[in-house]
């Protein structure tokens, strides 16, 4: 994909809520045009073409998306991965609300919404792995 702009501050830019909504569409769909993103967003809520276009242009300037101008219509793709963005947002939340303490955050998350059996199994497996790693360090 040809980059047509040099992103400013590619590294630590946190997406706004509107930008995050667009990133979620791009993570689900992959490369997409503004109209394709618009159609997905309009299935959820009322939003205008120019609003989506302008937001995506700002996102390109921030380095959150890359625009391919070698094809018509132009296509956009998300630059940060979904996992990276989730970790960045979670780290911010952890610092702001829990002073960096992961335990209370996890307990609150599990108390707020019931986890499925699959999720609980994954959590148990992760805890087992973390305990084994801590045992190796001792």
The verdict on 72 and 120 lying in the same domain is no
Tens of pLDDT, residue by residue over 88-130, are 999 999 999 999 999 999 899 889 999 999 999 999 999 999 9
The verdict on 85 and 131 lying in the same domain is no
Give the whole-number percent of the chain exceeding pLDDT 70.
Answer: 91
The verdict on 125 and 87 lying in the same domain is no
> What's the CA gap between 26 and 46, in Å, rounded?
18
The verdict on 59 and 36 lying in the same domain is yes
Which residues, listed in sequence order, are joined to residue 78 by a DSSP beta bridge?
65
Predicted confidence band of residue 12 (pLDDT cuts 50, 70, 90) = low
Considering its fold, how many domains does the chain have in total? 2
**To the nearest whole number, what is the mean pLDDT of the chain?**
90
> Residue 46: phi, psi to the nearest 5?
-75, 125
The verdict on 95 and 28 lying in the same domain is yes
Predicted confidence band of residue 137 (pLDDT cuts 50, 70, 90) = confident
The verdict on 115 and 95 lying in the same domain is no
Ordered DSSP codes for 13-77: PPP-HHHHHHHHHHHHH-SB-HHHHHHHHHTTS---HHHHHHHHHHHHHHTSEEEETTSSS-EEE
Tens of pLDDT, residue by residue over 41-58, are 999 999 999 999 999 999
Average pLDDT over residues 11-25: 89
User: Which helix H or strand E contains 78, and what residues bound it?
Assistant: strand 75-78
Domain hosting residue 131, numbered range: 101-138
């Amino acid at each position: 994909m040809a980059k047509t702009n040099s992103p400013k501050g590619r590294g630590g830019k946190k997406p706004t809520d509107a930008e995050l909504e667009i990133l979620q569409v791009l993570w689900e769909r992959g490369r997409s045009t503004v109209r394709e993103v618009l159609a997905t967003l309009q299935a959820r809520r009322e939003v205008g073409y120019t609003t989506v276009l302008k937001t995506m242009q700002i996102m390109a300037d921030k380095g959150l998306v890359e625009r391919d101008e070698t094809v018509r219509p132009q296509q956009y793709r998300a630059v940060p991965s979904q996992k990276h963005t989730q970790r960045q947002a979670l780290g911010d939340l952890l610092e702001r609300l829990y002073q960096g303490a992961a335990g209370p955050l996890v307990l609150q998350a599990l108390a707020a919404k019931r986890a499925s059996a699959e999720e609980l199994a994954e959590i148990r497996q992760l805890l087992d792995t973390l305990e084994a790693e801590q045992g190796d360090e001792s």
